């Protein structure tokens, strides 16, 4: 079945108020590619301001707590994101899994919290380089899928992002054959567990995506879009990725 391409910018810990102009330029440019869903996840400090600066655009958070409220200093709850106009949230990014020791159970709880709050969720999975080199990448990622994906969800509001850890921000990119093999394995695992709902879920690729390699990566089997880091910070770098997605329909 045809799934709309989905291109999401993860600004990570980058962006002051002046960067809102870049977001406005990105969303304005995205209007010329209406067949592609485009979103930006800025740091928490810019979510509300970006929603106000680009009304009607898809703006999200980069993480959320699994609880709806409580004594969790420094954390942000999914209902808080929804309250300021966010429409999506990223959970399980490798920088959270590795840097903050988040387990599959933690990621699953956050995904459930995001969905319950009415947000769309992008759930990240991916293997470290040693696992890739040992030949165990697919088993590793499918174990993350098994442990992180909630039992109940709206398939149109949950996307999986495959981001090999060794490719994030390094300039290293897996081959198109490897990307297609991983995405196909993820799709089959989801279908075995959830049946037909798996066909509606979008599986994104992330890891050193840029304007030069986007067309090739996005055309790989079962790749429904991209989760983009550094290349999403400016319209000049991000829009060629969106255009590549649009060209593929």
C-alpha angle 189-168-120 in degrees, rounded to nearest 5? 55
Matching residue, tokens 């920088």: 95
- Burial class of residue 135, CB neighbours in 10 A (0-12, 13-18, 19+): exposed
pLDDT value of residue 67: 98
- Burial class of residue 140, CB neighbours in 10 A (0-12, 13-18, 19+): middle
The β-bridge relationship of strands 158-162 and 36-41 is unpaired
Catalytic residue among 93, 95, 102, 183: 93
Inter-axis angle of helices 235-247 and 20-30, nearest 10: 20
Q: Residue 7: beta bridge partners?
A: 38, 226
- The CATH number of the domain where 21 resides is what? 3.20.20.70
Cα–Cα distance, 217 to 206 (Å, whole number): 10
Give, in order, the Cα–Cα distances in Å from 96 to each of 63, 186, 205. Answer: 8, 21, 18
Catalytic residue among 33, 127, 163, 183: 163
Domain count, the chain: 1
DSSP state of 212: T
Q: What is the mean pLDDT of each run of 10 residues along the chain (249 residues)?
A: 91 98 98 97 98 97 98 98 98 97 98 98 97 96 98 95 94 93 98 95 96 96 97 98 95
| Three-class secondary structure of residue 63 per DSSP | coil
The backbone torsions φ and ψ at residue 209, rounded to the nearest 5 degrees and listed phi first, read -75, 135
Q: What is the dihedral of CA 148, 152, 158, 161, to 10 degrees?
A: 20
pLDDT value of residue 249: 77
- The answer to whether 244 touches 25, Cβ cutoff 8 Å, is no
| Rg of the chain taking only CA atoms, in angstroms | 17
pLDDT value of residue 142: 98
What are 157's two structure tokens? 């509001």
Known catalytic residue: 102?
no
- 63 lies in which domain range? 5-247
Cα–Cα distance, 236 to 184 (Å, whole number): 31
Burial 80-117 (b: 16+ CB within 10 A, else e): bbbebebbbbbbbbbbbbeeeebebebbbbbbbbbbeb
Known catalytic residue: 163?
yes
Cα–Cα distance, 49 to 51 (Å, whole number): 5
């Amino acid at each position: 079945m045809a799934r709309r391409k989905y291109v999401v910018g993860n600004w990570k810990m980058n962006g002051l108020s002046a960067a809102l102009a870049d977001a406005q330029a990105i969303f304005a440019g995205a209007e010329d590619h209406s067949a592609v869903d485009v979103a930006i996840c800025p740091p928490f400090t810019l979510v509300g301001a970006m929603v106000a600066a680009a009304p009607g655009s898809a703006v999200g958070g980069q993480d959320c707590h699994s609880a709806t409220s409580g004594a969790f200093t420094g954390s942000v709850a999914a209902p808080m994101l929804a309250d300021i106009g966010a429409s999506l949230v990223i959970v399980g990014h490798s920088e959270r899994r590795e840097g903050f020791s988040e387990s599959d159970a933690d990621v699953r709880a956050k995904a459930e919290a995001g969905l319950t709050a009415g947000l769309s969720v992008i759930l990240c999975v991916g293997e470290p380089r040693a696992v890739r080199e040992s030949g165990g990448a697919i088993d590793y990622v499918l174990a993350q899928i098994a442990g992180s994906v909630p039992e109940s969800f709206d398939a149109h509001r949950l996307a999986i992002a495959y981001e090999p850890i060794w490719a994030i921000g390094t300039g290293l990119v897996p081959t198109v054959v490897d990307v297609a093999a991983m995405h196909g394995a993820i799709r089959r695992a989801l279908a075995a567990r959830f049946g037909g709902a798996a066909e509606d879920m979008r599986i994104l690729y992330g890891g050193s995506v840029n304007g030069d390699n986007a067309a090739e990566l996005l055309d790989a089997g079962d790749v429904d879009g991209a989760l983009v880091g550094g290349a999403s910070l400016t319209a000049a770098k991000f829009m060629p990725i969106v255009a590549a997605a649009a060209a593929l329909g």
